A and B are shown apart, each in its own frame.
Chain A
Amino acid sequence: MKYKPCTPDHAQCAPNLNDVAASLAFAHQTPAALIRETREVVDLARKFNREVVRPYALELDRKLHEDPDFLPWEFVKKANEWGFYTMWLPRLFGGKGYFMHSMSAFIEEVSSACLSMGNLIGVHYLGMATLAATWNAPLLLKIFRDVAAGEKAGDPRIISLAITEPGAGTDVEEPDLIDKGNITCHAQKVDGGYVVNGTKVFISNGHVSKWHVVIAYSDLDLPSQNTVCLLVQTGQKGFSFGRHEKKMGQRACPASELVFKDCFVPDSMVAMDSEQIKGLKKDAKDTFQQVLDYVLGATRAGVAAFGTGVARGAYEEALAFANETEVEGKLLANHEWAQCMLAEMYKNVCIARLGYVETNHHNASSGIYKSMLAKPAFYFIRYAPEFLVQKVFPKLLGTDATTRALRKANFDNQTEEEMNRTSGWGSMAKFSGTDLGMKNCHMALELMGQAGLRHDQRVEKHFRDAKLLQIYEGTNQLNRLNLFKCLVSGACPQSCVFHDS
């Protein structure tokens, strides 16, 4: 194949300011209340760490090594009591109405003490965000209100997201690959709903979730155009849990196999399928790509926050060690080389954090938070009178017309440039934050030597926990390719992504 000679066009390659400096371009639009609430959730997370996470993290991890099938119900109930499963749920669904934007800072805090426990809270919002991104208003109302009711009843009703299949990991996260992938989770259309058959694997929080957002396919030969997003409930006929994976780290956060055998899902529990989205500007493949991009732009920032948290946890343990240990008769913190290592680790935490902060600015200006974070909408949603929230909004949301309007507003109005920006930045934050998390764990163990190897010193747990971050929500290799596709390929007009052979 011959390629056209291509002279670099430096003007074309030069970065767009909106792409590379979101904080400069958009930070002034951030509502002051959002900054206040971010401080508030960080304080709350620190209190939670002191009272619950730090005292229990090692014990729970050890328990999972003694009994790999143990489920962390005690912690999930505690998080439910503290209100964390409805913290970022809008008030009209019975939640506390904090905006997802502030969740990253919360996740960083909890993960700095225990990444597994951070996941037991944060992954619920992966399921929630995916359901939210379908904009199926009646279903959102039903499921989210049930989550809120579960909090009041002391009965956690959290949500998982099931995408990965035994033969397809990367493929199911990338619509450009999925048609070539080994896809097996079939949703057959029948009267009144779908019948699902197949298996999902490595589903975080599966065993402790009540609701499962399941991505299946009505035509396995052309899954990209036939994606179906449905809600399945634990205990439902035809649905069961398979194996509870034995992971190296993040042991407290179960990775579950979900098994579907002739599992009937009624139309009322179908969040989105190709039939529902007819009439939108984009076809089914591109609309599902947009759903994924909306979700992953936000949740990959969340994974970056996990990475920042673990980078910080490793740094803080290494710092404590350097402050109390003499090496060759001199306090470790007074060795110049150790000072430089600690400075490097501190820098890694800050750089990782900047990644998710910047990505959240992109999500606010161009992505999933856009419609909610414009100042008038933000303050209205935050401070709307209770009677509107309880009586009027639910009636509005209960109609298919609202769903159509929400989908039109969110799917048809987002430009390709906005999609690329949020998706590309989500990937960048994810792979850089998690690589830096891993890097700090390596450095902490190197600095601490023998002491760092012990479970009771916490760093070895950070090290085991951190590695998974480089794998889930798309491997870091997939995320690099996605960044190339979204933010670099425009400067390589002859390039094509995911066609390597």
Chain B
Amino acid sequence: MLCRADKELKLVDGAATDFANKVLAPNREEYDQYPFGQFWDGVVKKAFDLGFFHLTLPAELEGMGHGLAGLSVVLKSICAQDASLGGMLFTNAMAQEILLAAKAEKLLEEKIVKQEDVYKFLLAFPAFNNPSEVRHVATVTKSKGKRLLSGDVQYVVLGGLSAYALLPASVEGSKDFSFFLVDLASKKVSLSEPIFSLGLHACPAVDITLDKAPAVLVGEEGAGKKYFDRVADRMAVAQAAMATGIMEGCFAEALAYAREREQGGQKIVNWSEVRMMLANIAIQAKSAEMMLSRACEAVDQKQPKWEAAARVAAIQACAYACEATTDGIQVLGGVGYMKDHGQEKRFRDAKQIQALMGIAPMKKLRHIRSILEKR
């Protein structure tokens, strides 16, 4: 449905679905063991070769130019099987979008887009925080015309992998913040061990400590909030896509199990309370898909009030995904709680995804605030 009649997007969707089913699903448990197991380097490189990290970049920046609809199609299919890769795609795309919003195409061209090594191409970014809400920002000072960052920035996703990070920082005492591109190989930058998190284990994050680390200003000074808010509204569609994909994977696994497992002398799919749980998951997944489809259309066509469509889709799809994955384990009973099935990972990942770009209730307040300000 998301693909509409766009043949190119259908091809992208086909490639993503094939990749998710053949590469991600069979080894889901193994990949999820990170940081206590091996990092899925080969998978990330394959995803890079397939262009999944180039989806939203415009063609003039050597991207695929598929916009958010293209990213959403891929995220939905990928997250149905393993949302950790979705987290990597999301983080990288969000950082790219902020650079584009700040009209920093030149910076992207110089430092990022021509890179042939995936880890030099990927951008690290603190994707789970809205710096206007909780101020995890570094402090910026100027010295001999150069900008230097100091302090801690927490939970920088892809920070342990990427060559560059896009980090928020502000001048001491200022309420505004700006974004800076920081070379993570600098001796003035130190990285923590990978953070052990609730979900998206193979999409690692680190805490970053900066000690007068050289940094390049992205866009205008003090305009970080403007860029973040604008991009957050666009990326809400991608967040909704991730939640929708998780629900679709959850429903498929719950249904397959219910058709096989017997209880009380019959398949459990024939017990009406189990059917009710399956119905709830199916309704939530379908509702999310319809909202997502509408939001993609609104955002890509820049329709009036596209921001509202995107925000509502993300808030509601994430809430549905948290409920659906809770029931998704329940349909499988004890088996669903074990790591050799996909449901427990979807349950953790759905909750983690709900926290992308800030605190969940604050997103609702931001939505009503935007309505109130317009009237």
Contact = CB atoms under 8 A, between A and B. Distances in A.
Nearest to A164: B334
Interface stretch (A74-82, A145-153, A262-270, A447-455): A447-455
Contact of B355 (A247, A450, A501): A450
B362 interface: yes
A463 B355 CA distance: 14
B1 interface: no
Contacts of A338: 361
B337 interface: yes
A174 B66 CA distance: 55
Interface string B131-175: 011111000000000000000001100000000000000000001
A460 interface: yes
A453 B132 contact: no
A52 interface: no
B365 interface: yes
B263 interface: yes
A327 B129 CA distance: 11
A450 B264 contact: no
Contacts of B333: 169-170, 471, 475
A450 B339 contact: no
A497 to B, nearest CB: 11
B36 A66 contact: yes
B355 A453 contact: yes
Nearest to B198: A460
Contact of B330 (A167, A337, A449, A471): A471
Contacts of B334: 164, 169, 201-202, 255, 471-472
A449 B338 contact: no
A201 B362 CA distance: 43
Q: Please indicate which of the listed interface residues A337, A450, A468 has the most CB atoms of chain B within 10 Å of its own CB.
A: A450
B351 A463 contact: yes
Given A65-B36, A328-B132, A453 B337 contact: no
B195 interface: yes
A83 interface: no
Interface in B230-263: 262-263
A329 B174 CA distance: 12
B197 A460 contact: yes
B337 A468 contact: yes
B97 interface: no
Nearest to B359: A449
A245 B199 CA distance: 19
A337 B135 CA distance: 20
A116 to B, nearest CB: 13
Contacts of A498: 264
A467 B326 contact: yes
Given A164-B334, A247-B339, A472-B334, A337 B129 contact: no
Contacts of A471: 329-330, 333-334, 336-337
Given A327-B133, A454-B155, A455-B197, A182 B361 contact: no
Interface string B195-227: 111110000000000000000000000000000
B62 interface: no
Given A170-B263, A445-B355, A450 B337 contact: no
B270 interface: yes
Nearest to B360: A446
A47 B3 CA distance: 59
A501 B359 contact: no
Interface residues of B, number: 53
A348 interface: no
B337 A248 contact: yes
Nearest to A63: B36
Contact of A341 (B154, B329, B361): B361
Given A246-B339, A446-B360, A464-B348, A475 B330 contact: yes
A442 B351 contact: yes
B301 interface: no
Contact of B348 (A248, A468, A475): A248
B265 interface: yes
A311 B159 CA distance: 33
Contacts of A460: 197-198, 348
A248 B337 CA distance: 6
A453 B134 contact: no
A328 B133 contact: yes
Contacts of B154: 450
Nearest to B338: A245
A164 B335 CA distance: 12
Contacts of A326: 134-135
Range of interface residues on A (Cβ < 8 Å): 35 or more
A476 interface: yes
B354 interface: yes
Given A248-B337, A328-B133, A171 B355 contact: no
Contacts of B361: 337-338, 341, 446-447
Nearest to B272: A500
Contacts of B358: 449-450
B128 interface: yes
A90 interface: no
A259 interface: no
Contacts of A415: none
Interface string B263-279: 11110001111100100
A498 B128 CA distance: 46
Interface string A293-310: 000000000000000000
A484 to B, nearest CB: 11
B352 interface: yes
A450 B359 CA distance: 7
Contacts of B41: none
Contacts of A171: 263-264
Contacts of A446: 354-355, 359-361
B330 A477 contact: yes
A477 B329 CA distance: 13
Contacts of A475: 330, 333
A357 B365 CA distance: 38
Contacts of B272: 500
A325 B135 CA distance: 10
Contacts of B266: 180, 501
Contacts of A337: 361, 365
A442 B322 contact: yes
Contacts of B136: 450
B205 to A, nearest CB: 9
B109 interface: no
Nearest to B274: A477
A80 to B, nearest CB: 27
B344 interface: yes
Interface in A55-78: 62, 65-66
Interface in A301-333: 325-329
A438 B326 contact: yes
B300 interface: no
B330 A476 contact: yes
Nearest to B126: A450
Contacts of A136: none
A470 interface: yes
B340 interface: yes
Interface of A: 62, 65-66, 164, 167-171, 177, 180-182, 201-202, 245-249, 255, 325-329, 337-338, 341, 438, 442, 445-456, 460, 463-464, 467-468, 470-472, 475-477, 480-481, 498, 500-501
Interface of B: 29, 36, 126, 128-129, 132-136, 154-155, 175, 195-199, 262-266, 270-274, 277, 322, 326, 329-330, 333-334, 336-340, 344, 347-348, 351-352, 354-355, 358-362, 365
10 contacts: A245-B338, A246-B338, A249-B337, A255-B334, A341-B361, A442-B322, A447-B359, A463-B198, A471-B337, A481-B273
A-B pairs with the 7 shortest C-beta distances? A180-B265, A460-B198, A449-B359, A248-B344, A450-B128, A246-B339, A455-B196
Given A326-B135, A449-B359, 12 more contacts: A168-B263, A169-B333, A177-B265, A180-B266, A325-B134, A327-B133, A337-B361, A453-B155, A454-B155, A454-B197, A471-B336, A477-B330
